[in-house]
Amino acid sequence: MKKENYGKGMQFGEWILVSYINGGGNGAVWKAKKGDDFRAIKLLKTLNKKTLARFNDEIKTIVENKDIQGILPIYDYFISPNLEDTSWYVMPIASSIKLKTDAMSHEEKVDLIIKIGKIIVELHQKEIVHRDIKPGNLLFYNDEYYLADFGLVDYPNKDDITRKDESVGPRWTMAPEMKRSPKDADGKKADVYSLAKTLWIFLTGEEFGFDGQYSSESKNSLNAYHSTLFSDPLDQLLYKSTSHDPNERPSMEQFIELLREWQEQNRDYVKRNPYEWKMVQKKLFPTNIPSRVVWETKEDIIQILNIVGNINSLNHMFLADGGGMDLSGASLAPEEDCIVLAIGYKIIIKPIRLLFESIGRDSEWNYFRLEYDSVSPLFHNYSKGRERLLIVDGNYKENEGDFQLEFDYTRYTDGGAMVIFMKTSTYNKISSTYDGRHNKMTTDEFKLYIEKMASKKTT
């Protein structure tokens, strides 16, 4: 009997079909009633020995693990002894989780995955693997999240009906080994792979997943969708969890723990900031941190400053004549050899070089030093080494009182140096460091000064 043969008013046991809800490859789900009681009934629609055996396994798994919070209970069921009658089971009417995730924050989506992961951990502890984890099999009922559809479940002493060359699992979240040889695959590590792909789908809002292993350098990176997301720990977790080698993936317990660590860091800026500062340095220098690096072309300088400025509230830039602002980015200026820095307002400088200085093991003391040259004033309204001007259609114009941020720029006519530290660094917390002292010292003198400060902090 096929789905199209089911219809409103048909009866299975004491349950009468009311309306069609949805269906998958081998099952159809209907709203059904027994008196005044309305439930969902899943009907096996493709009848053969394999589908009947899997349907039986699904019911067995759900009934025997009803004590696990997060598995929808079965209220009633019928297993046909032949291929003529329809097998079915009755469960609560739950809603698609997509109705919830569309309005969720990133934090809430991660929390959801943790809850689903905890359900899977309990199954894994019983040597049960799901093998069909995807967004469509996650449901919401009575203010709780549930893992559904155990049609591909595997457990000890289960009769193996899977062919060696038969792929098992959903297209976009299926681990590669489940496509090649599911009979020989580690189902637990395959579940980790599928849950990681599901996490990516939730965080990006995409309908489908991506092929292969996750990479933070690809168009599928989380930051390509959400530039301000604190993504580094998630990038690493997704990279490991979608490895082609199952042995390189974490266990489900480790997967959950790493997500919890991300939550803790994401909620606590003081913990997150040093992590992000360290990750920026790792991105710039993947193998080891050099003592000093110098960039001299304006294109290279802009690229590095944008990496530093791209992460919200990562850094604090100390200005040459005192005070400081957070750097959020850099770009080319209309003027040859000059660049624009976005620091809450826009300034124009003529860079000489950008340096990265490593102080030692504690990356909080590592900093960037931006040295810039003097330029001749263009107009008459400059003072104290600065002039206010407008950039309109790529051309400089004298600012005669128009301070709209879209056009308003401050051009530094005097040369000097700025330094960039981690936002929560010890240096940033000392109020006296805002006096521009770095600009009164040479490059080497200031580095020696910071090295002495760092050594006092660590002793």
Q: Among candidates 388, 313, 369, 322, which has minimal Cα distance to 344?
A: 313
pLDDT at 167 over 50: no
Q: What is the pTM of this model?
A: 0.77
* CATH among 3.30.200.20, 3.20.20.70, 3.30.1510.10, 3.40.630.10 for 3-91: 3.30.200.20
pLDDT at 170 over 70: no
For the chain, what is the mean pLDDT? 90
Q: Which residues, listed in sequence order, are joined to residue 351 by a DSSP beta bridge?
A: 372
Report the pLDDT value the prediction gives residue 346, as an integer from 0 to 100.
94
pLDDT at 248 over 60: yes
Report the pLDDT value the prediction gives residue 321, as an integer from 0 to 100.
94
CA distance 30 to 227: 42
Query: Who has greater pLDDT, 395 or 323?
Result: 323
Quote the Cα angle for 20-132-7, to 5°.
Answer: 15
Quote the Cα angle for 391-411-371, to 5°.
Answer: 130
Q: What whole-number percentage of the chain has pLDDT above 90?
A: 70
**In which band, very low, low, confident or very high, does the pLDDT at 142 lie, cut at 50, 70 and 90?**
very high
CATH class, domain 96-267, is: mainly alpha
Report the pLDDT value the prediction gives residue 18, as an integer from 0 to 100.
97
**Domain range summary for the chain, segments of one domain joined by +:** 3-91, 96-267, 285-458
The angle, 0 to 180 degrees and rounded to 10, between the axes of the packed helices 298-309 and 269-284 is 150
The average pLDDT across 228-234 equals: 90
Q: Per residue in 16-38, pLDDT tens?
A: 999 999 887 678 999 999 999 99
| Residues 6+ away with beta carbon under 8 Å from 437 | 446, 449
Q: Per residue in 323-369, pLDDT tens?
A: 999 999 999 999 999 999 999 999 999 999 999 999 987 899 999 99
